[in-house]
Amino acid sequence: MNIAIIVLLALLAAVNLFLLFRKKEDNGIKDFSDFMIKNQSEMQGRLSQLSEIQQDSQAKLNKNIQEQQSLLINMVNERLNNVSKDLGTGLQKNSEKTFETLQSLGERLAKIDVAQKKISDLSEQVVSLQEVLSNKQARGAFGEIQLNDLVTSILPPSSYDFQVKLSNDKRADCVLKLPNPPGDIVIDAKFPLESYQALRNAETDREILEAKRFFRDSVQKHVKDISEKYIIAGETAESALMFLPSEAIYAELHANFVEVVENSYKAKVWIVSPTTLMATLNTVRAVLKDSRMREQAGVIQKYVGLLTEDITRLDKRVEKLSTHFDQAGRDIEDIKKSSGRITGRADKIEAIQLGEEVDVAIGIENK
């Protein structure tokens, strides 16, 4: 504000000087000192006015500054209160969320501990299973148990036997009792695990070639043994089943060893896995049901004939009974007529005893 006053004073001085020289040139009469005194008094008046204006402006400016300062303080206080409130709410929510997260984390850790224990138990079971499968006899027992579970869960007890000794002194794992044809079908469990693992572990071309030969020979040997031991003319069916208790071995065999499967067909030995054996057993169950129905068809027909005779006899007896009912109805009507005549005559006799004149009919009806 002071700079503005100085600038105004400078401008006024310049104007006065300009007017001074202008008047000096025009008039040339008035004294220069008088003119300066007059201008000086005018300048002092104007300065007084400018000072008053400055004071008013300064007062208004101070008032505006105070108002703005008060408004700013209120806004800052309000913002601080809102921030404090939001901060408190946020801290409370974060605390609750943190507590929930920790609680959920504790529950998950407990579940993880349980899962870890189950995994440990499963690992022990897997190790035990590996030990079982590494032993040839235990591996054979594993296949027989799986075969037993499948057969017993699908077929009725009268349609199978386990560990059956045949006429050639060979013992079959399972025999399905089917009517002729086809006759009894033998199922033998085989588990060529060693050759399959060798095939899975082979890396070089030579190892792969040797493993394939080993696997092929193992399966073909099992097929040959089953064909020679468990297909007996006149005692068993013309074919037998070789049960592989592993879907992986069954898939490998049908995917990469088609010639082995074809040779098994020629030997009339059908290779089955747990899944395909279930389908086969369901088919056998349907065949057994149909056979039982055919066996019982004659008995059912006999009883149907007897039932027809009983119905005919019952019709005759009902007709005869109906005739008796008709005769009984006629007899009841005759009895009613006789009873009516007896009652009428009794009334006439009673009238005669009382001395009343009654016309008595000579003729008497006997009906």
Q: Please name the helix (run of DSSP H) or strand (run of DSSP E) that holds residue 10, with its range, or none.
A: helix 2-26
Residue 53 in domain: no
39 and 149 assigned to the same domain: no
Residue 255 in domain: yes
Last residue of a domain, one of 261, 293, 325: 293
22 and 138 assigned to the same domain: no
Give the domain range for residue 13. 1-44
Residue 347 in domain: no
Number of domains in the chain: 2
Residue 118 in domain: no
Give the Cα-Cα-Cα angle 15, 16, 18 (nearest 5 degrees): 65
Last residue of a domain, one of 251, 266, 293: 293
The CATH number of the domain holding residue 225 is 3.40.1350
How many whole angstroms separate alpha carbon 98 and alpha carbon 104?
10
pTM: 0.46
Residue 138 in domain: yes
154 and 289 assigned to the same domain: yes
Q: Which of 259, 163, 166, 171 is nearest to 219 (CA)?
A: 259
Q: Please name the helix (run of DSSP H) or strand (run of DSSP E) that holds residue 294, with its range, or none.
A: helix 274-353
Residue 220 in domain: yes
142 and 266 assigned to the same domain: yes
**For every one of its 367 residues, what pLDDT tens digit does the chain have, with 9 covering 90 and above?**
456 556 666 666 666 665 555 555 555 444 555 655 666 666 667 767 777 777 777 778 878 888 888 888 888 888 888 877 777 777 777 778 887 887 887 788 788 877 777 776 665 554 444 544 455 555 556 778 888 889 998 888 888 899 988 888 888 889 998 887 778 899 998 888 888 888 888 888 898 899 899 999 999 999 999 999 999 888 888 899 999 888 888 898 888 999 999 999 999 999 999 999 998 889 888 878 877 777 666 777 777 778 888 888 888 888 887 887 778 888 788 787 877 788 877 777 777 766 555 454 444 444 5
157 and 283 assigned to the same domain: yes
161 and 274 assigned to the same domain: yes
How many whole angstroms separate alpha carbon 304 and alpha carbon 300?
6
